[in-house]
Structure 1
Amino acid sequence: MSRIQCPRCQRPQSHCLCPLIPCLDSRTRVLLLQHPSEVNHALNTARLAALGLNNAELIVGEVFEDLPRLLNQPGYRARLLFPADDAQPIQTYGASDEPLLLVVPDGTWRKARKILHLNPLLAALPRVTLADGGVSRYRLRKAPGPGALSTVEAIVQALQVLEAPVSFEPLLRPFEALIEGQIAAMGEETFRRNHAGK
């Protein structure tokens, strides 16, 4: 018998995160393109980001037929948040800057690259990147390298820079509760043995 799920956050009703999900306005529009393999992931941080930001949209797929319309939002400059040699570091908006449509692929690095490969229009977008040295709070997964963040952490870091001094930290509350819940479920001893110090 399956547990009853919250229709909004899609967590089991007994572990619903909705009371922790903020309702934040942002000048930046966030477009999350989620690989289908992430949809049922226990730690679906892209969903948390989309639920917590009023100016965000989450679309699931590998090939996005509607991409031309999605990327041409009046009043926004589309930028892909993804590393590349020519990616520009994200910078705080100037007074007259047109806000960004921040396009964020969501999936493992391999799956995110596949999304870019299958959507040439996406791969052709100018890229922006986060400052080096971001440390993930995602204590349940070994990061593939320094600065590797979960999707919600990357979005928070990007918005904190773009829209400084506005704080988007509240977006991380449900994410941290999710991590704590996973650690509690596996037991502190198992967590220490398998994850602590990694």
Structure 2
Amino acid sequence: MSRPRCERCTRAQEHCLCPLIPRLESRTRVLLLQHPSETAHALNTARLAALGLVNGELRVGEVFADLEQWLATPGYRPVLLFPGDEAQALTAYGETDARPLLLVVPDGTWRKARKLLYLNPLLAALPRVTLGQVTASRYRLRKAPEPGALSTIEAVVQSLNALEAPVCFDALLRPFEALIEGQIKAMGRETFERNHGGH
């Protein structure tokens, strides 16, 4: 028999993360587009990010029929958080930025994220933004595919911290850190130290 799950955070009831998930207000609207293969991922950080942001939304799929409508959300300038030659580094909103950003964040492996762009030409056509200063990932259970690679929730937090400084969105990471600690505890500290060198 499967263990009862929390419907909100989808964790097993005894490991429910809801008490750790904040409800943070942001000027920026965050639209997370999750590849279906990510929904079963143990950490599913895009879901945690959407739950923690009042102005955040998670959509799951490969082809998004309503994308045009979402991108036309009144009062926001849509941009895609994805590296590229033309990508502009995110900087804090100035006095003149009347319209905040609708930050579209693809969630999946690099290959799956590129597939989302390929299958949704409107996404690929958006102006791209990227993080200027990347702080190291706290995701100690996985070797990053390249330096500066972050989990989705970390990328969202760092983007909002850059855009809305001095407001800080680090509280969004609390359930993520608890998840990682839980996984380390489950595998045993010694195994973790041996396999991950304590990084």
**TM-score when scaled to structure 2?**
0.97
SS at match of 2:174: helix
Q: Find runs of 4+ consecutive structure 1 residues off by over 4 angstroms.
A: none
* Conserved 8 A contact 2:35-2:61: yes
Letter in 2 for 1:178: L
1:92 aligns with 92
The alpha carbon displacement at 1:132 in A equals 4.1
Over 3 Å counting, the alpha-carbon distance change for 1:133 and 1:160 in structure 2 is closer
Deviations 1:48-70 (A, max 9, x none): 00000000110000000111001
Q: How many corresponding residue pairs? A: 198
Q: How does 1:14-53 map to 2 (within 5 A)?
A: 14-53=14-53
2:135 aligns with 134
Q: How does 1:56-95 map to 2 (within 5 A)?
A: 56-95=56-95
1:183 aligns with 184
2:118 aligns with 117
| Identity value in percent | 74
Give the Cα–Cα distance (whole angstroms) in 1 for the partners of residues 145 and 91 of structure 2: 25
Over 3 Å counting, the alpha-carbon distance change for 1:145 and 1:132 in structure 2 is farther
Give the Cα–Cα distance (whole angstroms) in 2 for the partners of residues 140 and 48 of structure 1: 18
The alpha carbon displacement at 1:133 in A equals 3.8
The alpha carbon displacement at 1:103 in A equals 0.1
CA RMSD of aligned residues (A): 0.9
Q: Which 5+ residue runs of structure 1 have no aligned equivalent?
A: none
Give the Cα–Cα distance (whole angstroms) in 1 for the partners of residues 24 and 151 of structure 2: 19
SS at match of 2:57: strand
**TM-score when scaled to structure 1?**
0.98
Letter in 2 for 1:189: E
* Conserved 8 A contact 1:31-1:102: yes
